[in-house]
Structure 1
């Protein structure tokens, strides 16, 4: 779709320019008068011009087209690299945030476990003391 829009835009621009300067271009192609001047080229020079320009245009048209679309592809690759870089940076930021959350969860778990172990240890000591008192009382 982009390619079609670009080609249509170029065609409209060329048609507009040709319409505005059609008399000058027609005079150049038919009688060899240089556009926007009063200079008329000799017939031999016009023959040489057309013998050189037509094959050159055929050859250059293909190479210019290939070069143009290669440059468009290169710009697309640069844009894709930029997008990939943004995704990588976002993933790293997300990874760092996930690491911080994970560390916070581990710290919370350790604090709860430590508290539970402290309470369990205190309960065990109390049970040991009551068992010892019971043993002393029964003896």
Structure 2
């Protein structure tokens, strides 16, 4: 049975292990590209002491699967994996892993960025940050929408 392409979990992940598993046994792979997002201690000028991520189980995985399917069709990648954490997180914690394999680096870089841009804008996650002023829900950024727009051109 194939390993799942999308995991939503509260536990941390081992990037090295995930990358090795993604390309294991596929001699066609000439490139592996990955992105790891982490919790920052500042956002929009405010100090952030903690973050909590929520999602809609089932709908979130389905949304991310559709994003991966679009990346496969558009860039011809061989495999992709997205791991996204939910629950309480602290600054420096890993939040997300996006990894792809392909024949050549250009396709891998583009597909990885494409998936991440769509994750930031379309995947159903809700983020709440703890700041000195109290808890606040984080809205989508204009810069994330602009990054997404270039793939739609």
Regarding TM over 0.5, the answer is no
- Bigger strand share: 2
Q: What's the TM-score once normalised by structure 1's chain length? A: 0.20
- Bigger helix share: 1
Query: Which is bigger in relative contact order (C-alpha 8 A, separation at least 6)?
Result: 2
